[in-house]
């Protein structure tokens, strides 16, 4: 896609915002102001004949509602928001042409402590050509959408847009009511952010979600963005502090080598452990009892027993293909049973089933103490990192 031409830049001036009826300084007036971040290439909008300041040129019920409700928007970039003091807005509307376009800024905003709590609506400008629904995008959507507080598309109904704005207002009010954090250490601030995310989003029970990209095949959005690789240890610590309470969700099999739950279980040859085995590919000649692979019986287009040289005519009368037998293509062994082995997609090693470990996947409840800590901005004294990680559940 071509970069914005000079004419387009004039239509959509680069930040900082200076002109246009919908552009105001964030500090001006007392009405709630939202940051408007657009990842839609400006040249693309111009090519479609859309001209004027954002958001006036974007289709959809959302923009009319914003004006009706007196919610002003200021166009800025993700970088503007991430600068010190940049998160002074009440919320964010992140615009893009596709989920792929918004994922990166969405995750950056969610990861940063200054912007992690900001209510955020993703607006997808639906275009038939570049918004073709395919399985990867659908999968992607399922995982990224949990990091947005609402997703509105250009063809969403007014009711859907209104619900998204209502949610944004509710979260903005909850965030605004929070006092500045009292805890000083980086870790306690991160713990507080986790609790405050749950509190301001009204998440009482945090359920793990299926996620094939996670070592344990489960993720805890929207907390994953804040905690990152430390999330599991942070959550365990919050449990030990009584701020979260865990309940059983599921049990997963894990690799004894690396702890990854992405395991490929299959039957392998008991003799040589090759996974190159098939059932039902051998022939059993009833009369002489010979059992061998089917190719050994073919002779000039006919099935003939290689042991006694008798032709085999009728399946079920002369011979059978015993599905009960496992044939190994690697060592040629025939056996009634193989053995179960798992190949770990994390480390690539293979292990017999009896060596595979187990781990519990938990759901978490925000306790009364957790709500109180989130509301007042102080997490009780945090034990040292060593203590925190030793208690990780296995
Ligand atoms: Zn025979
Ligand atoms: Zn074998
Ligand atoms: Zn492994």
Per-residue pLDDT tens digits for 219-265: 998 898 888 889 999 999 999 999 999 999 999 999 999 999 999 99
Is 375 among the domain residues?
Answer: no
pLDDT at 42: 74
Cβ-in-10-Å burial (0-12, 13-18, 19+) of 18 comes to exposed
Task: Kindly give the distance from the C-alpha atom of residue 262 to the centroid of ligand 3, in angstroms, as a whole number.
Answer: 8
Task: Report the CATH number that the domain containing residue 18 is assigned in CATH.
Answer: 3.40.50.2300
Which ligand lies nearest the alpha carbon of 286?
Answer: 1
Task: Kindly give the distance from the C-alpha atom of residue 263 to the centroid of ligand 3, in angstroms, as a whole number.
Answer: 8
Task: Kindly give the distance from the C-alpha atom of residue 286 to the centroid of ligand 1, in angstroms, as a whole number.
Answer: 7
Task: Kindly give the distance from the C-alpha atom of residue 259 to the centroid of ligand 1, in angstroms, as a whole number.
Answer: 51
Which ligand lies nearest the alpha carbon of 310?
Answer: 1
Alpha-helical runs (H) found in the chain? 6-11, 42-47, 61-68, 78-82, 99-111, 135-144, 158-176, 186-200, 223-227, 231-240, 368-376, 385-390
Is 370 among the domain residues?
Answer: no
* Number of domains the chain is built from: 1
Is 68 among the domain residues?
Answer: yes
Q: Tell me the mean pLDDT in the region 179-202.
A: 91
Which ligand lies nearest the alpha carbon of 357?
Answer: 3
pLDDT higher than 50, residue 24: no
pLDDT tens-digit series, residues 74-89: 888 999 999 887 778 9
CA separation for the pair 9, 4 (Å, rounded): 6
Task: Kindly give the distance from the C-alpha atom of residue 13 to the centroid of ligand 1, in angstroms, as a whole number.
Answer: 87
Is 362 among the domain residues?
Answer: no
Does residue 363 contact residue 247 with C-beta atoms inside 8 Å?
yes
Is 54 among the domain residues?
Answer: yes
Is 168 among the domain residues?
Answer: yes
Which ligand lies nearest the alpha carbon of 296?
Answer: 1
Task: Kindly give the distance from the C-alpha atom of residue 333 to the centroid of ligand 2, in angstroms, as a whole number.
Answer: 6
Does residue 173 contact residue 181 with C-beta atoms inside 8 Å?
no
Domain housing 31: 1-177
Is 234 among the domain residues?
Answer: no
Q: pTM score, two decimals?
A: 0.75
Residues in the chain: 394
Residues with CB under 5 A from ligand 2 (ion): 269, 271-272, 274, 328, 330-331, 333
Task: Kindly give the distance from the C-alpha atom of residue 317 to the centroid of ligand 1, in angstroms, as a whole number.
Answer: 13
């Amino acid at each position: 896609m071509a970069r914005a031409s000079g004419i387009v830049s004039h239509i959509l001036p680069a930040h900082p915002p200076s002109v246009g009826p919908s552009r105001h300084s964030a500090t001006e007036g007392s009405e709630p102001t939202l940051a408007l971040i657009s990842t839609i290439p400006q040249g693309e909008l111009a090519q479609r004949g859309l001209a004027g300041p954002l958001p006036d040129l974007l289709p959809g019920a959302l923009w009319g509602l914003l004006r009706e409700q007196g919610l002003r928007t200021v166009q800025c970039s993700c970088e503007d928001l991430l600068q010190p003091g940049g998160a002074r807005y009440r919320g964010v509307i992140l615009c893009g042409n596709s989920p792929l376009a918004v994922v990166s800024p969405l995750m950056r905003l969610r990861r940063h402590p200054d912007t992690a709590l900001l209510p955020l609506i993703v607006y997808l400008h639906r275009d038939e050509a570049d918004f073709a629904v395919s399985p990867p995008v659908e999968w992607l959507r399922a995982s990224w959408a949990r990091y947005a507080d609402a997703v509105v598309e250009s063809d969403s109904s007014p009711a859907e847009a209104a619900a998204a704005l209502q949610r944004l207002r509710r979260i903005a009010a909850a965030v605004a009511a929070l006092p500045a954090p009292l805890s000083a250490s980086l870790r306690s601030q991160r713990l507080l952010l986790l609790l405050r995310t749950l509190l301001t989003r009204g998440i009482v029970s945090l359920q793990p979600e299926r996620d094939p990209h996670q070592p344990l095949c489960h993720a805890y959005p929207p907390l994953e963005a804040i905690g990152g690789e430390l999330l599991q240890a942070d959550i365990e610590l919050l449990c030990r502090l009584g701020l979260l309470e865990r309940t059983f969700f599921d049990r997963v099999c894990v690799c004894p080598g690396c702890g990854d739950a992405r395991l490929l279980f299959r039957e392998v040859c008991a003799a040589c452990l090759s996974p190159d085995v098939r059932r039902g590919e051998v022939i059993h000649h009833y009369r002489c009892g010979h059992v061998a692979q089917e190719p050994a019986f073919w002779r000039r287009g006919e099935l003939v027993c290689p042991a006694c040289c008798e032709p085999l005519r009728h399946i079920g009368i002369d011979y059978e293909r015993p599905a009960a037998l496992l044939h190994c293509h690697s060592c040629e062994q025939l056996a009634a049973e193989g053995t179960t082995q798992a190949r770990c997609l994390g480390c690539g090693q293979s292990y017999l089933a009896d060596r595979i470990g187990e781990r519990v996947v938990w759901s978490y409840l925000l306790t009364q103490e957790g709500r109180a800590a989130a509301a007042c901005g102080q997490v009780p004294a945090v034990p040292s990192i060593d203590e925190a990680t030793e208690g990780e559940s296995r």
